[in-house]
Amino acid sequence: MIIVYEELRKTVKIWLTYPLVLVFWTIFPIMWVIPFIFQGKAFVGALSSQAFADLTGTGQYIPFVIIGAVVSTYMFSALYGIGNAFREESYWGTLEYLIGSPASKGFILLGKALSEGIFSTFFALSQLLFAIFLFGVKITLTKILPILLIMSFLLLALYGLGIGLAGLTLLIKESRGIIHSLDDILYLFSPIRYPVEVNPITKFVSLFIPLTYALIAIRGILLLNKPFHLLITEMVALLLLDIGFLFFGFYTFNTLERKVRQTGTIGHH
């Protein structure tokens, strides 16, 4: 377990040697959320719409989209971070020393995931503050705790996906492309910008994406004032997906790590 901490320490220390990048990354997420808001204004014309309310039970399109934006950027920055982490190690020439050590790769990856988690939290917080001050999205403390719980469930699945991705980047030496395609798939099939109910196919596929349940649950709490116990179905579904994603992630990583040791492509970039 000490490895998780040391990995975290190492990653954060390396970031801190690039202070300008940190500043950049706190401004950048705000720019990211603005198009969502403008899009909402343009389509709906106001903060609420009847057609939209019929689909989702809430007329508040802009808060709906902002929650989607915050949660999804949280997810993507985490995914990108874990997936990219091994590419960086390969670039630094340190990857072979990680792979060749007796340390559990799962702990190393967990350390990387946590560092990304901290980073993404900065990211999401600056977006959220922005949304609160400029668009009056209201958040009360009693709603925060269940939301944190949902987020941690979501993170477990993300961790699984991230490990799988890390394995994939060992093999194809490239993570940007994969992660962007993954972005696109998730955008299409989960209710980030719109409710998936608009189309039966998106609705079906979205059932297998953890982000769907997390978003439904978080919006349920924030926008519909649902009490937590009404969200049990979503939580159970999320947990089942967590188990599936973690299993899948570790399996993919182990298989691919073995594969690169066979093809001899570790450390090449």
Partner 1 sequence: MVAIEVEGLRKTFKKGKVVAVDGVSLTIEKGELFGLLGPNGAGKTTLIKCLSTLLIPDGGRIRIFGHDVLKESLKVRRLIGLVTGGERTLYWKLSVFDNLRYFAALYGLYGRKARRRIEEMIEVMDLVEKRDERVERLSTGMRQKVALARALLHDPELLLLDEPTLGLDPQFSRVIRRFIKEELQKKLKKTILLTTHYMEEADELCDRIGFMSQGKIAACATPEELKEKIPHERLLEIKMAGLPDESLIRNIPGVEDVLMIVDNNRTVLRIQSPDPEGILATVLERLRKECRIIGFGLTTPTLEDVFIFLTGEELR
Ligand X SMILES: Nc1ncnc2c1ncn2[C@@H]1O[C@H](COP(=O)(O)OP(=O)(O)O)[C@@H](O)[C@H]1O
Residue 264 binds partner 1, judged by CB under 8 A: yes
* CA-based end-to-end distance of the chain: 30
Q: By C-beta, is 17 or 262 nearer to ligand X? A: 262
For the bound state, the minimum distance from the C-beta of residue 264 to ligand X, rounded and expressed in Å, comes to: 3
In the bound complex, which residue of the shown chain has the CB atom lying closest to ligand X? 264
**88 contact choice in partner 1, ligand X, none (CB below 5 to 8 Å, kind-dependent):** none
Q: By C-beta, is 97 or 247 nearer to partner 1? A: 97
The DSSP element (H or E) to which 111 belongs, if any, is helix 105-135
Q: By C-beta, is 108 or 165 nearer to partner 1? A: 108
For the bound state, the minimum distance from the C-beta of residue 265 to ligand X, rounded and expressed in Å, comes to: 6
Residues between 97 and 136 with contacts to partner 1, criterion CB under 8 A: 97-103, 108
**192 contact choice in ligand X, partner 1, none (CB below 5 to 8 Å, kind-dependent):** none
Q: By C-beta, is 8 or 65 nearer to partner 1? A: 8
Q: Which of 54, 96, 184, 197 is close enough to bind partner 1 by CB under 8 A?
A: 96
Q: What is the dihedral of CA 186, 133, 21, 1, to 10 degrees?
A: -70
Residues 6+ apart with CB under 8 A from 158: 75, 78, 79, 113, 210, 245
Q: Which of 13, 50, 138, 140 is close enough to bind partner 1 by CB under 8 A?
A: 13
Helix then strand then coil, in percent of the chain rounded to 5, is 85, 0, 15
Residue 177 binds ligand X, judged by CB under 6 A: no
What amino acid occupies position 263? Answer: T
Whole-angstrom distance, CA of residue 66 vs CA of residue 129 = 11
| Distances 77 to 10, 135, 137, 229 between C-alpha atoms, Å | 19, 24, 23, 30
Residue 22 binds partner 1, judged by CB under 8 A: no
| Distances 237 to 123, 144, 215 between C-alpha atoms, Å | 27, 21, 13
Residues between 208 and 267 with contacts to ligand X, criterion CB under 6 A: 264-265
Residue position matching structure tokens 């719409």? 49
For the bound state, the minimum distance from the C-beta of residue 94 to partner 1, rounded and expressed in Å, comes to: 6
Residue position matching structure tokens 């057609």? 51
Question: What b/e sequence results for 236-265 when a residue is b if at least 16 CB atoms lie within 10 Å of its CB, and e otherwise?
Answer: ebbeebbeebbeebbebbeebbeebeeeee
Binding-residue pattern over the window 26 to 55 for ligand X, x denoting contact by CB under 6 A: ------------------------------
Chain residues that interact with ligand X, rule: CB under 6 A: 264-265
Chain residues that interact with partner 1, rule: CB under 8 A: 2-3, 6-7, 9-10, 13-14, 17, 92-94, 96-103, 108, 258, 261-264, 266
